[in-house]
Amino acid sequence: MKKFWIYLLIAMSSAAVASASVRRAIPFNDGWKFHKVTTPAEVSEVTLPHCYNADDGTSADYYRGEAVYAKTFDAPAMEKGDRVFIRFEAVGFQAKVEVNGVELGHHKGGFTAFCYELTELLRTKGNSITVTVDNRKDMTIAPINADFTMFGGIYRPVSLLVLPKGHITPVDYASPGVYFEQLEADATQARAAVKVLVDGFDDKELGRLSLYSELRDGEGTVVARTSTNAVMRHNGFNALADTITVANPELWNGRSNPALYTLATYIIKGEVIVDKVEQTVGFRTVEVDHDKGFILNGKSHNLRGVNRHQDRPGKGWAISEADHREDMELIKEIGANGIRLAHYPHAEYFYDLCDREGMLVWAEIPFVDNAPDNEEFAATTKSQLIELIRQNYNHPSIFCWSLFNELGGPAATKIVTELNDIAHREDPHRYTTAASNDDNSPLNAIPDIMAYNTYPGWYWADPATMQYAIDWKYRPDKQPLGISEYGAGASIHHHGILSEHPDTGGDYHPEEWQATVHEINYREISKRNFVWGTFVWNMFDFASAGRTEGDTYGMNDKGLVTYDRATPKDAFYFYKANWNAEPMVHIAGKRFTPRGAEARQVKVYTNCDGIYLIHNGVRYYPDGNPQAHVYTWDNLPWAEGENRITAHGVSDGKIIYDNCIIIYNK
C-alpha cells in the first residue's frame, strides 16, 4: 500500500501542470447585443449579468415579454479532443439557446443553472450565439403568480467550459459532477461518500480510470486521502465512488465556527491526471425535534434568521458579488444565524458566502401560490427541484429543501407529494420543509418539518397574538414547528405612535409600528425554544410590481433595510440588540421629528448595562424593566422646539452612546 501511495503521488505531481491547463472556465459575459422583441431596432450592447427590468421592475406595467441576446465569438484555444460547453447560471424565466443557427436547448425555470455542449457546432472564427429570453407568465413554469416582480434577463454570469474529451461531467443538471455525501460526523470521526460523475470514456478507458480524493483543511493541510477504481452508475452517468474518513474533524458549527474543507477529486487514466474538480465541503449534523427545536452538532441552536430577496434598484436581479457581500454584512450585523432564501434558488456565490459565514440556509424552489393541473407544469417544477439539489448538494450551510410557499390549486397535493419523494431520493440526509399560511391545508402533513407565514399585528389581530399562533394555531401539527415569515411594513418617511395596526394596504406604513410588531412578536417567539427556526420577513425591501401601498407603489416595504440598502430601519436595531453581542445603543424614532404631544415616548434598543438618558442636560433612568433589550421613557419634560437626547450604556467599562435632536411641538 505504501508503494502505491508513493507511485500515485509521483504520478499526480508529474501530471499536475497538464491537468491545471486542461479544465478551464472562461467568462462569457462581454460584448452581447440586446433588444426586446417588441422594439427590434433598439439594439444596445450589454455586459452580463443583465436584467431588462432593472428600471421598470416596480411598475405595474413592467415589461414581460421576449428579448434577444446575441454575440459573435471565436472558439477558445483547445487541445486535440477537447470539448466545449456553455453554462448559464440563471436566466429569467426561460431561454432558447442557438449556436450558429442550431438550437442547443430550451431551458424552463428562472433561477437555476443549465449547461449545453457546443463542441460540434464550433467554427474557429466567427461563431454566433443567440439566446431568446422570455419572462412572460407561462402556465407550464413555476411560479405562475407570486408577490414579487418576475425580472427578465440573463441576470447571472455565463461561462464557456473547456474540458478534456474524458472529463467530470458538467451536464448532470449543471451540477459540479462531484457529490460529497456525509455519512457520519462527530468530534472523533467524520466519514463521507464521494461520487464523481464522468463522461467521454469508452469501456476500455473506463477500466483504466482511478479516482484520487483528498481533503484539505482551512490551512491547506491534507487531512485525508483515498483512491479507488470502483465504478458505479449515479444519476445516469458512470461514476467513480469512494469513501473518505477524517479523524478528529473540525465540525462546521454555524456562526461560531464555520469550519470548511476543500475536497479535491482527480480522475487519473493510467499515470496521467485527466481532470480535476475542487469543492468546498463541511461536516455537521442537524436534527430538528418537535420539543427541543433545532439541534446543530448535538447541541441546541436557536435558529434566528431572516428572509432575503435578491433584487436591487437600478439592477433588478443582475446584482454583483459586491452586492451579495453587502447583503451578507448587513445580515451579519444584526446577528442572524440563518437565512431563508426566498422564494427561489439564489446565486451560487451567495450559497458560498453562507458556507463561509456560518449561515444556516433554508433553500427553496419557486413553487408559489398556484399548482395548475397540467403535466408540463409538474415536470418543470420537479426539474427545478432536482436542479436546486444537485447544483447545491455539497453546501454544508443548507439544512433543508423547501417544497412550496403558500400553495393552492387543483394539483397541489399530488405535485407536493412527488416533490417530497424526489427530495428524499436525491438527498436522504436533509429535511424537506415548506411555508404555509393555512393551518388546515392537507399539504402541511407532507414535508418532514413545517413552518408558517403569520403576521399578527399586521394582517390580523394584535402583535401579542403571536403566542396564540404558535401555541394553538400551529403547534398541534405532528411536525416540528417553525415561523417562516413574520413582520410588518414600514416607510422611513412615515411616522406615528399607534395602538393598532394601520391599513396594511394603504399608503401609511409608519416605521414605529413595524418596530412595535417585531418587539412583541419576538418577545413571544423567544419564550418558546421548541420553535425550530424563525425568519423575519424581510431583511430588505423588494420589488413587487402589483402592490399599491406604502410610500412607493410596486414595493414590499417589510424589509428591515430599505431597498437601496442605505438605511436600516428601527426594527433592524431591535434585532441587533437581541442577536449581536457587539455593544450597541440605538435611539428609536430619530426620524420621527417634529412630533406632538401624542408621541412623547423615547425608546432605546441596547445590549449594554447601566442605561440612562440625558434629555436637555438632565439624566433620566428608564421606566420599568426592559423587555427584549427595549428601554422606554414616558414622562420626560419635553421642551417646545429642540430636544437634545443622548442614550448611554456601559459595556466592559466603556461608555456606548447614541444621540439625536427631536423637534417637539405642543
538: preceding bond cis by omega (within 30 degrees): yes
Inter-residue contact 457 to 490 (CB < 8 Å): no
Establish whether 103 is a catalytic residue.
no
- Joined grid coordinates for residue 571: 426594527
| Grid cell digits, residue 257 | 465556527
Distance between CA atoms of residues 408 and 373, nearest Å: 11
Count of alpha carbons within 13 Å of 189, Cβ hemisphere only?
7
What is the CB-side half-sphere exposure of residue 626 using CA atoms within 13 A?
20
Taking the C-alpha atoms of residue 382 and residue 388, their distance in angstroms, rounded to an integer, is 10
Q: What is the torsion angle, in degrees rounded to the nearest 10, for the CA atoms of residue 521, residue 522, residue 527 and residue 532?
A: 100
Q: Which residue of the set 250, 406, 511, 519 is catalytic?
A: 406
Reduced 3-state DSSP string for 345-357: CCCHHHHHHHHHH
Cβ neighbors of 229 (< 8 A, separation 6 or more) are 207, 209, 210, 211, 240
The Cα 549–Cα 309 span in angstroms is 19
- In 3D space, the residue among 378, 374, 375, 352 whose CA is nearest the CA of residue 365 turns out to be 378
- The identity of residue 191, as a single letter, is R
- Determine the Cα–Cα distance for residues 178 and 195; give it in Å rounded to an integer: 6
Q: Using the CB atoms, write b or e for 153-165: b if 16+ within 10 Å.
A: bbbbbbbbbbbbb
Which residues are known to be catalytic?
A: 406
